[in-house]
Structure 1
Amino acid sequence: MKAILPLLILVAATAQASDRIERGRYLVNTSGCADCHTPLKMGANGPEPDMARHLSGHPQGFTVTAPATPPGEPWMVLIAQTGTAYSGPWGVSFSANLTSDPDTGLGRWSESDFVQTIRTGRHLGRGRPVLPPMPIPVYNHMTDDDLKAVFAYLQTLPPTRNKVPDPLPPAGVR
């Protein structure tokens, strides 16, 4: 019986981790994450998600130089046919790589880094602001358990090496 107890604990912990990952998969798939973080490609019937780059963010090497949206124009404009770059009064923002890649994605992030990013609206919970169109005011209402589940799921994604460019400042700002 003593030998069985550690095995039962391991099985229960594995089941709990699996449940958390599945909850995260559900939340990612119903919260629109892929809408911005998965680049589009041209398919037979028009633009479609490029699932070979699922949740890998703005494609490295796809250069966007558009300035921020001029005053009086719509507050936000999609400026890349990939669906991963946006221009507005804040400058130009690029969708982040959410895969588990340790150098260009979330592979080195901790669960706490992820939760604090969503809670504070700041990169790694303490860095630069997370820019529009990322709906931080919506996602920061998720429970800690849900955010941890999202992070657990994202960590299961195959790493996609894709260095997303840094945001560009508004026109005239250095």
Structure 2
Amino acid sequence: MSNRIHKTCTAKLIDSIMLLAVCIPVTVSAADNTVRTPASGAKAKGSTIERGRYLVQVAGCNDCHTAGYAQAEGKLPEKEWLLGDRLGFRGPWGTTYPANLRLTMSNMSESEWIKSAQTRKLRPPMPWFALRDMDKEDVRAIYRYVRHLGPGGVPAPAFVPPNQTPSGPYVQFPGPPH
């Protein structure tokens, strides 16, 4: 990967991560099934599936788990959402790939997903701690939305250990500061 492409991909990834950090705080009122964003106080009324769609968008799930989403400025058809990506994220932990969430969740019950979302620690750059900190009803809404989309696509490439170089494209993360 050329240095220019590496810098561009790294800059786009950092922008996506910063956007995620700004957008992730969401509160839910279970009494009226309404989602409110702290910045605007806006409401997104509707079903649990609609709420899940909203959370997938504002939490930045598509930024990594939907190939080309950020480059298309979020204007990809919903049928292409959450199918994973073949772009790897390489760092001291090895190389990870954004999972195909539609296949992953098609093989899990709702209770398995909720337990996994609230307890699993995943490799970088997945912000597992943001998922862990979500309200149980938000996690449930995401599950129901993803299941509503139905399974599709292919599994993401397997994890590549730190001492091996991935065969496909990847974004190189620097090591931790000393």
- Tell me which residue corresponds to 1:118: 117
The correspondence for 1:159, drawn from 141, 151, 157, is: 151
- Tell me which residue corresponds to 1:70: none
For structure 1, the residue ranges without an aligned partner over 5 or more in a row are 1-14, 60-79, 123-129
- 1:86 aligned to 2:89? yes
- Tell me which residue corresponds to 2:7: none
* Separation (CA, whole Å) in 2 of partners of 1:37 and 1:120: 20
- 1:139 aligned to 2:167? no
Q: Is the 8 A contact 1:105 1:161 kept in 2?
A: no
The correspondence for 1:95, drawn from 85, 93, 98, is: 98
- 1:29 aligned to 2:21? no
Aligned to 2:101, the other structure's residue is in SS state coil
Larger radius of gyration: 1
* Separation (CA, whole Å) in 2 of partners of 1:138 and 1:154: 18
* Separation (CA, whole Å) in 2 of partners of 1:47 and 1:20: 28
Letter in 2 for 1:110: S
Return the structure number with greater helix share. 2
Letter in 1 for 2:55: L
- 1:53 aligned to 2:77? no
Q: Is the 8 A contact 1:98 1:105 kept in 2?
A: yes
How many pairs does the alignment contain?
117
* Separation (CA, whole Å) in 2 of partners of 1:25 and 1:53: 13
* Deviation at residue 159 of structure 1 after TM alignment: 2.2
Q: Is the 8 A contact 2:106 2:150 kept in 1?
A: no
* Deviation at residue 131 of structure 1 after TM alignment: 1.4
* Separation (CA, whole Å) in 2 of partners of 1:39 and 1:22: 22
- Tell me which residue corresponds to 2:175: none
* Separation (CA, whole Å) in 2 of partners of 1:113 and 1:97: 17
- Tell me which residue corresponds to 2:47: 19
- Tell me which residue corresponds to 2:140: 148
For structure 2, the residue ranges without an aligned partner over 5 or more in a row are 1-32, 34-45, 165-178
Letter in 2 for 1:115: I
The correspondence for 1:170, drawn from 155, 162, 167, is: 162
Superposition TM-score, scaled by structure 1 size: 0.60
* Separation (CA, whole Å) in 1 of partners of 2:151 and 2:80: 10
Instruction: Check 1:92–1:141 CA distance in 2 against 1; reply closer, same or farther (3 A cut).
Output: same
